[in-house]
Amino acid sequence: MLKQSQNLMEGVYKEDGVPVLRVINMEKGGLVELTEEQGIIFEMLKEERDRMEFIGLLGEEYEEQAERVVDELIRLGLVVDDEQMTEKKHPEIPEGIGTFKARALYLFTSDACNMDCAHCYVPEHIRHDNKRTMSPEVIKKTIDEFIEQAQAVGIKEIELRLLGGEPFFDRKLLLDALKYADEKTKEKGMDVKFVINTNATLCNEKTVEALKPFAEKLFMIVSLDGDEDAHNAQRPLRGGKPTYKLVIEGMKRLKEAGIYVCPHTVISSRNNDQIAELMEYIKNELGINQLSYSFMHVPDFAGDIGIRDLTSAEKMDIVRLTHEKAKELDMELTGHWKFSIAQSVTNSPSLCEGGISTICVTSNGDMFACQRHVGDSNKRLGNIMDGLVENLTLFRNQRLRQWLSQMCSSGGKGCVSCLVTGECGSKEGQGAGEEGDASVATIELQAYANQGGKKGAEEQVDDNFHAELLRYYLENCPTNVIRTTEFDTIVNGMQPR
C-alpha cells in the first residue's frame, strides 16, 4: 500500500509567480521542492492506495511515468510503500561523528565586563571578577591544540571567536591572541577568520588602529539593542551610566577603519516595537547593510529584571517584520542558530555544532561544549592544559555515559525528540542503556550540548514558534535562502550575547 509519510509539513512558495509545492520531512530532515508531476501524485496519495490499482488508475499511457514518480517520492522520504518497508531503524550516526571537527574555537579571553546587562547568561560573580583573564600560556596552548586537530581532520580554515565578558577589557591580551593565531595559521598553510563579540564601548582610536592589520579577516559583532533609551536600559555600564553613544562612536570608528561591523540586537518586550526604526537607522545613518538579532531568554538566576521573553506570536511578528524591512532596505539578516529550519526537525544533523566542531575555552582553560554551559561545573569537559582531544575522548568514553544515564533516567521522556535516539542503547522510551554499552561512545557531544533531547521550559514555549517559523520559510523564502540539500539556515550562526 502506498501512502504519504507521517510528520510532513507542506507549503506553497510562489517563484516568479508560479506556485511550487514544498515539503519538509519532520522526522528525517530535508526540504523538497516538488515538480508539477510529483506534486500531483503526492497529493493523490493523501489517501492510502494499493500500488498496482493506483498506477492502473492513471491509465496505461502514464504507467511508466507514474512508476518513476512514485519511486522518486519514496526515495525522497515523502511516500512509503508498506511492501518495501523494513523494521524501523534509528537514525544512523554520520561517518566520523566520533572525531572532533575543530572548525570554530570560542576563547573567553576575559570574563570581566564593563557592562551590567541583566539578561546576560554569564553569572554576575564571573563577569564582574576583574582578575579572570586568560593567561598567555593558556591562549597559546589552546590555539596550538585546536590548529593541530583541525589539520588532523583536514580543516583548511578555522574561525577564532573572542568573547567574554568584554574581550577588549584586556586589549593587549586580545591583540596578542589575534597575532599568535594569525602567525600559526600562516605557518600551517591555513586560513583564519576572526570574530569578536563586543559592546564596542572600549573601541577607542588606539584600539581600532591596533586592529587594522587584521581588518581583512576580522568581523566585529556589536551589541545594539534599539534606540538610545531602550539600549541604555537594557545595556548600562556597571554603576548604571548609559552606553549608547559610546557604542555608536565605537561602531563608526571600526567602520571608518575598514573593519567589518554587524550590529546585533537582543529583542525583548522592551524594544520589540522599534525594530523597523532601528533597521532604518543602521542602514541609512550608520551605512551598515546587515543586522543580526536573537530573542532574549532571561536566565533563571537573573530573577525579575522588569522585561520578559517574547511569546511565540510576538516572535513571528518580528520575523515577518524584519524580513519585509530587509527587502525594503536591501539588508541582510543573520542571527541565532535557533532560527534555522533544522531547529524543529527531529534528527537533523545541523541542529547544533556545540562539541561537534566548536569548543569553548574559558579564561582558566576549562572547556565547554557550548558557551551557555560556561560556569556550570556539571558540564565542564576538562581543562585545555590537559589536552583538547584527550579530554574530549575521555568525556565521550566515561563521563558522557554517566551524564546520559542521569539525563534519561526519567524513563526516556526525552527520547521522542532526541537527536540520537537509540544510539545510547535505549529502546525508545526506556532511557539510556547500560553503562559500558559501546554505542554510547559514538554519540559524540551533540546529545550533551542539546541536553540529551530533553526539552526545557524555553524549548517547550518555543514549539509553536518553530512550527510557524518553518511554515514561514516554506512559503516565503527563495531557494537561495533555504538550501534544500544541506537543510541549512537563513542565518549564519553568529551569536553575540
Q: What is the DSSP string of 385-409?
A: GG-HHHHHHHIIIIIHHHHHHHHTT
pLDDT tier, 484 (very low <50, low <70, confident <90, very high otherwise): very low
**Tens digit of each residue's pLDDT (9 = 90 or more) over 31-73:** 788 999 999 999 999 989 998 888 888 888 888 898 999 999 9
pLDDT tier, 390 (very low <50, low <70, confident <90, very high otherwise): confident
Give Rg (Cα) of the chain: 24
- Mean pLDDT computed over 489-493: 30
The yes-or-no verdict on residue 122 having pLDDT over 60 is yes
Query: CA 488 to CA 471: how far, in whole Å?
Result: 15
Paired with 115 in beta bridges are 237
Query: CA 91 to CA 439: how far, in whole Å?
Result: 13
pLDDT tier, 17 (very low <50, low <70, confident <90, very high otherwise): confident
Neighbours of 120 (CB within 10 A): 19
Query: CA 489 to CA 445: how far, in whole Å?
Result: 21
The yes-or-no verdict on residue 142 having pLDDT over 90 is yes
- The secondary structure element, H or E, covering residue 215 is none
**Measured CA distances, 226 to 123, 245, 256, 333 (Å):** 24, 12, 22, 16
Contact 392, 445 (CB under 8 A): yes
- The secondary structure element, H or E, covering residue 171 is helix 171-187
Characterise 199 by phi-psi region: left (phi > 0), alpha (psi -120 to 50), beta (else).
alpha
Using DSSP, state whether 265 is helix, strand or coil: strand
pLDDT tier, 262 (very low <50, low <70, confident <90, very high otherwise): very high
Contact 68, 37 (CB under 8 A): no
pLDDT tier, 456 (very low <50, low <70, confident <90, very high otherwise): very low
Paired with 291 in beta bridges are 333
Say what the pLDDT of residue 186 is.
Answer: 96
Q: Which residues of 55-91 are buried (b: 16+ CB within 10 A; e: fewer)?
A: beebeeeeeeebeebbebbeebbbbbeeeeeeeeeeb
Query: CA 409 to CA 29: how far, in whole Å?
Result: 27
The yes-or-no verdict on residue 228 having pLDDT over 60 is yes
What is the average pLDDT score of the chain?
A: 76
Return the amino acid letter for 275.
I
Neighbours of 216 (CB within 10 A): 9
The yes-or-no verdict on residue 450 having pLDDT over 60 is no
pLDDT tier, 415 (very low <50, low <70, confident <90, very high otherwise): very low
Please indicate whether residue 94 or residue 336 has the higher confidence score (pLDDT): 336
Return the amino acid letter for 108.
F
Say what the pLDDT of residue 28 is.
Answer: 63
Pairing of strands 2-4, 79-81: antiparallel
pLDDT tier, 402 (very low <50, low <70, confident <90, very high otherwise): low
Lowest mean pLDDT among 105-119, 259-273, 378-392, 396-410: 396-410
What are 165's three cell numbers?
565578558
- Mean pLDDT computed over 275-298: 92
**Tens digit of each residue's pLDDT (9 = 90 or more) over 147-198:** 999 998 889 999 999 988 899 989 999 999 999 999 999 999 999 999 999 9
Please indicate whether residue 407 or residue 9 has the higher confidence score (pLDDT): 9
Q: Rounded to two decimals, what is the model's pTM?
A: 0.76
pLDDT tier, 356 (very low <50, low <70, confident <90, very high otherwise): low
Please indicate whether residue 490 or residue 371 has the higher confidence score (pLDDT): 371
Say what the pLDDT of residue 427 is.
Answer: 42
Please indicate whether residue 366 or residue 372 has the higher confidence score (pLDDT): 366
**Measured CA distances, 442 to 47, 90, 373, 408, 412 (Å):** 40, 14, 22, 17, 19
- Spatial strand order of the sheet with 8-15 comes to 8-15, 18-25, 31-33
Contact 472, 320 (CB under 8 A): yes
Say what the pLDDT of residue 470 is.
Answer: 75
Contact 1, 81 (CB under 8 A): yes
Using DSSP, state whether 36 is helix, strand or coil: helix
Contact 312, 464 (CB under 8 A): yes
Domain boundaries along the sequence of the chain = 2-84, 104-360
Most confident range (mean pLDDT) of 24-28, 126-130, 169-173, 485-489 is 169-173
Characterise 92 by phi-psi region: left (phi > 0), alpha (psi -120 to 50), beta (else).
beta
DSSP states along 279-346? HHHHHHTS---EEEEEE----GGG---S--PPPHHHHHHHHHHHHHHHHHHT-EEEE-GGGSGGGGST
Please indicate whether residue 100 or residue 366 has the higher confidence score (pLDDT): 366
Residue with cell 570560542: 106
Say what the pLDDT of residue 352 is.
Answer: 52
Say what the pLDDT of residue 419 is.
Answer: 40
- Mean pLDDT computed over 433-442: 35
Class of domain 104-360: alpha beta
Query: CA 36 to CA 45: how far, in whole Å?
Result: 15
Say what the pLDDT of residue 82 is.
Answer: 75
pLDDT tier, 467 (very low <50, low <70, confident <90, very high otherwise): confident
The yes-or-no verdict on residue 444 having pLDDT over 60 is no
- Taken in order 373, 378, 382, 384, is the CA torsion positive or negative? positive
Lowest mean pLDDT among 38-47, 256-265, 396-405, 429-438: 429-438
Instruction: Provide, rounded to the nearest whole percent, the portion of the chain with pLDDT above 70.
Output: 71
Say what the pLDDT of residue 353 is.
Answer: 62
Please indicate whether residue 455 or residue 116 has the higher confidence score (pLDDT): 116
Say what the pLDDT of residue 323 is.
Answer: 85
**Tens digit of each residue's pLDDT (9 = 90 or more) over 268-282:** 999 999 999 999 999
